[in-house]
Structure 1
């Protein structure tokens, strides 16, 4: 290696030997820099002795074997133990569960981990490349699953971050990939359409479910889990399954636009059938016994059927992505906000930014200009 150009103060010194004066005590010290490794070695204050050692060290450098000789003589690097990505996913499951998130979050992530296992589980974790990940995410987005692509990218990125921390791999192939762009397509549910769907609902429990949804703004699974015993001391107590948020919703809560109040709707949920659940089957149909809670898929299916009948009667085209049952959460936010109530606490959001997304009508409603 060619030594760096000499400073003016080092002209009288052999190559690779340097002097430095300590500003605190005025003493001059000598150091030798190994031209191969770059390491610095202190040689003390004796100039003559330092020069002799530097000359000897430089001479030893000439006698050293070439880089090719040194590389060829080195023993082969020990083979890295193969570790399948599927093995790491089992470790990651445990790590994720220890984060103390909700049961629904653990369930959703568990399903996504299965998908990752099916796609990459057979590979050594160090053999999963950025190209592999990018193709997987891009193909998913091209199928119209951009939101799922974003969710899987986030999970994959976290999976590899934890793997790096545990020493299973040295790189995160997800880091440089781009998240899929999500275009919001689903139509918003208007108050007019809600009323039409409500009129088309053939089951009393579906009407009650819709009323509870628009009054409380809760998610489908939280509505299906509501029990009569949750109403006490003038409040309906809700523990959200997704976030764990604990809400006490006053039974006096009212929407003037629908002439509905929560207390009256809860009373309407009581019928001739004995049941713990607010939303329950009123008669036995096939495997669904009277008094049993309504399954989420049944709730979604019958709501969709009532929606389609209402749209046909109104003569409107809901497009390829009609509003789902979940859109009542957005409608609730907009109706309560219009009547002067802040829907953030009702929806259980931690940030106003998330509530604003639900309050956005996406052009489905008219804007009154004074």
Structure 2
């Protein structure tokens, strides 16, 4: 009778949800695990929104599956259910999200191991998106609304991406974490009017997160030309449409959200028919302005590594201000007319 007694005890424990809750449906643990992940990793607003959408799907799929019973077959079924037609990049990201959640579950003794780690990632094709040519850039710029033209010019001169460009303020008192903006000199010195400080939110391994860019004549012209009758602290700004919910990525009604900036660029590109010969995922996006800028600076003899704030570039200088290490890039300008 002993084996039956042992089985009965195990069954009772399982029926009650397990010792740590491992026998409860995994869906019941997702909210708590998400709170831990967000606290630990501090993702950007856009990433957080992506996670929340993924979490909704995870809770729906694992609504009746105990955490301790999840296997690789469930990972495969989840991807097939929600992302069967998605690209390799997207499928790999979704597997990585499951891997993240399951790693916390293992940490809390809800799972013995992480089945998502056994899932083979799909091979990624070489980058399909085409480079942005200067001719295409100029054609889009010529027809762009003033605010979009300003964003394009700032991206070209600074080599920075949509998130940083959309956060540049006309003036800040001093550089600090989480802020992008201009500190102006009382009088120009050797053709330099001040410094544009950029705190990059997403950085590559060899790139600095705090960048100091000298404001020369061309960058000053772009900033000056952006000023209009709209009262806004942001260089890239526009009057928003009525009854449109404000993005969580912006802190002022006139600030342009990074996603809106990308969509406006792509919409104008397609409206002008500049990339009709390419598939949608091959057409250059706003992000490609950064690579174009690096290419143009390189042609002028200014190392793109310095412009893009690679910390191992010989042309960069590192100095400390307000207890933050800032990478000062060399002054350089690209003339767009």
TM-score under structure 2 length normalisation: 0.69
User: Which protein shows a greater Rg?
Assistant: 1
Q: SS state of the match for residue 198, structure 2?
A: strand
Q: Greater shift after overlay, 239-248 or 262-271?
A: 239-248
Question: For residues 141 and 72 of structure 1, do their structure 2 counterparts lie closer, same or farther at Cα, with a shift above 3 Å needed?
Answer: closer
Partner of 1:187: 130
Aligned residues between the structures: 272
Q: 274, 280, 291: which is aligned to 1:330?
A: 291
Q: 240, 243, 264: which is aligned to 2:221?
A: 264
* Cα contact 2:155–2:290 (8 A) shared by 1: yes
Question: For residues 139 and 194 of structure 1, do their structure 2 counterparts lie closer, same or farther at Cα, with a shift above 3 Å needed?
Answer: farther
| In 1, Cα distance between equivalents of 2:242 and 2:210 | 35
Residue 197 (str. 1) matches residue 158 (str. 2): no
Cα offset for 1:205?
Answer: 1.1
Q: SS state of the match for residue 99, structure 1?
A: helix
| In 2, Cα distance between equivalents of 1:236 and 1:182 | 36
- RMSD over aligned Cα atoms: 3.2
Q: Which runs of 4+ in 1 moved over 4 A?
A: 71-74, 138-142, 283-288, 344-352
Q: SS state of the match for residue 235, structure 1?
A: strand
Deviations 1:150-192 (A, max 9, x none): 1121121232222112111112211221112222332221112
* Cα contact 1:213–1:219 (8 A) shared by 2: yes
| In 2, Cα distance between equivalents of 1:188 and 1:140 | 31
Partner of 1:85: 26
TM-score under structure 1 length normalisation: 0.64
Unaligned runs of at least 5 residues, structure 1: 1-68, 253-259, 353-370
Question: For residues 152 and 227 of structure 1, do their structure 2 counterparts lie closer, same or farther at Cα, with a shift above 3 Å needed?
Answer: same
Question: For residues 304 and 166 of structure 1, do their structure 2 counterparts lie closer, same or farther at Cα, with a shift above 3 Å needed?
Answer: same
Unaligned runs of at least 5 residues, structure 2: 172-180, 185-193, 245-251, 314-337
Residue 165 (str. 1) matches residue 116 (str. 2): no
Q: SS state of the match for residue 182, structure 1?
A: coil
| In 1, Cα distance between equivalents of 2:104 and 2:264 | 43
- Bigger relative contact order (CA 8 A; separation at least 6): 2
Cα offset for 1:214?
Answer: 1.6
Q: 115, 122, 133: which is aligned to 2:75?
A: 133
| In 1, Cα distance between equivalents of 2:29 and 2:310 | 33
| In 2, Cα distance between equivalents of 1:101 and 1:350 | 24
Q: 28, 52, 72: which is aligned to 1:110?
A: 52
| In 1, Cα distance between equivalents of 2:279 and 2:110 | 48
| In 2, Cα distance between equivalents of 1:106 and 1:242 | 14
| In 2, Cα distance between equivalents of 1:338 and 1:109 | 41
Question: For residues 342 and 136 of structure 1, do their structure 2 counterparts lie closer, same or farther at Cα, with a shift above 3 Å needed?
Answer: farther
Partner of 2:318: none
* Cα contact 1:141–1:149 (8 A) shared by 2: yes
Partner of 2:38: 97
| In 1, Cα distance between equivalents of 2:150 and 2:80 | 42
* Cα contact 1:140–1:146 (8 A) shared by 2: no
* Cα contact 2:30–2:55 (8 A) shared by 1: yes
| In 2, Cα distance between equivalents of 1:125 and 1:224 | 42
* Cα contact 1:138–1:180 (8 A) shared by 2: no
Q: SS state of the match for residue 181, structure 1?
A: coil
Q: 170, 175, 183: which is aligned to 1:232?
A: 183
| In 2, Cα distance between equivalents of 1:117 and 1:303 | 36
Partner of 1:292: 254
